[in-house]
Amino acid sequence: MRKITDYLELDIEGKYILNHIDDSKVALSFSETAVLNELVSHQGEICDKETLLGIGWPNRIVAPSSLTQCISTLRRKLTPFSEINLQAIARRGYQIQIVEQSQVKLVSLHDSETIRQAIVDVSPAVKAFGIILLFVLLAVLFYFSTNHRVTQIAHQWHDEPDISLNLGGQVNQLPLLSFRNSYATTSQNWQRHIDPAHNTSKAPRPFKGVALATSRTHSFAACFLDGITHDSCQHSGAINLVAMESQPAAVDYGALSQIIAQVSDRFRYNRVLIPQGSEGHVTEHHYHADVFFPRANKKLIRGDFAISLIYERNNYGKFFYSVCITDEDCLGEPIKFNARGEFRKFSRRIGEHYVDIFYVTPTQHHLPRPDAIRDFALPFYQELRRVEVSTQPLIFYRLQDEGDKSLWVLPFMGNIVAWANYEKVRL
């Protein structure tokens, strides 16, 4: 192969010109190859006609017009490459001149020398500029990456002093997390919604959980400890309460406990119909939580929340999210919402908590239009409608994982915290 320009080579044996920009080839005859090779070998010099006739037609006697025709054909085939100038020198012969069209030099990927010159043979100032530009580009890419965004979101959560909470005569300190660290976080923001006159139980148990403060809600999730280890949660009976109003709701604790048991057993929209232990090739990780929204002198509002994860590879997979809002008696027309998308799981530290953060990119939403919306349901419908029309990602946080029970922060009415029961099924 003989190099003609930075991106053109002459294959003498193959009889063609190779263009490395698009890997195209220009076919040549034997005589055209031999004459062009001689001219390129003596670039800038005049090659006499006798020499070119002897090289192009060895051991043959041909008329001078054969060389004239050969040069004419070469000029035509070299027309796309304007930097190559094949000239006739009167009464002497022919000469080839190769000039650069601009100061920008095209790099041949098959020419190691050209690549070395393009990378190595530059001034220190150009190298320094290139390195700085590379770091700037990497910084910009990182700033707009999902990884960086998740880190920024995690930094908006803050540990606050524990709050004291009395449930059924049992008093415990709950860790408190606040979002953006800008809200009043006294214990009364949670305790005032439990009626002190009815805050007793015949068989109170110790409990544990987490409280959450955002600009829109104060919520807590409490699970009662089992009687064996006194450390793990019971499978049922968790209390997930979300206060949206400042006026004390005065919830009767005993009545609340009965409602939680009855509603969870009798009315559950987002239930898993496939039994655990079934056979299949796809594993679905399903979480279900009942969340109650107390209102002063009115019935409770119940939120039936479900999350399903199907891992496709490490930390990536399909995400399914369902919400059903109704009153405590499940008599009114429910508001149902479903979303699905792709999730990516990150691990971050929020205060003293090591948290799994699920960054969900929604691909589909479904919010059926009810025939009528009752007054109590309007804020919830507006919240779900906002999610339906939004293109923003959904952020879920798993604060604790205890096998058959997990503690989640759900992106609803800002953010709320809830204990959820866990089931694993095969599909």
pLDDT digits (tens, 9 = 90+) for 392-420: 999 999 999 888 899 999 999 989 999 99
Residue 236 has pLDDT above 50, yes or no: yes
Alpha helices by DSSP H, 8-79: 30-41, 49-56, 64-77
What span, in angstroms and rounded, lies between the C-alpha atoms of 298 and 376? Answer: 10
pLDDT digits (tens, 9 = 90+) for 291-336: 999 888 888 889 999 999 999 988 999 999 999 998 876 666 789 9
How much is the pTM? 0.67
**The pLDDT value given to residue 184:** 59
Structural tokens at position 366: 């479904």
pLDDT interval class at 277 (50, 70, 90): low
Nearest CA to 269 out of 216, 307, 322 is that of 322
**The pLDDT value given to residue 417:** 96
What span, in angstroms and rounded, lies between the C-alpha atoms of 12 and 232? Answer: 81
Residue 278 has pLDDT above 70, yes or no: no
Task: State in Å, rounded, how far the first CA of the chain is from the last one.
Answer: 61
Residue 275 has pLDDT above 80, yes or no: no
**Residue 369 CA: distances (Å) to CA of 107, 333, 384, 385, 413:** 61, 11, 11, 10, 20
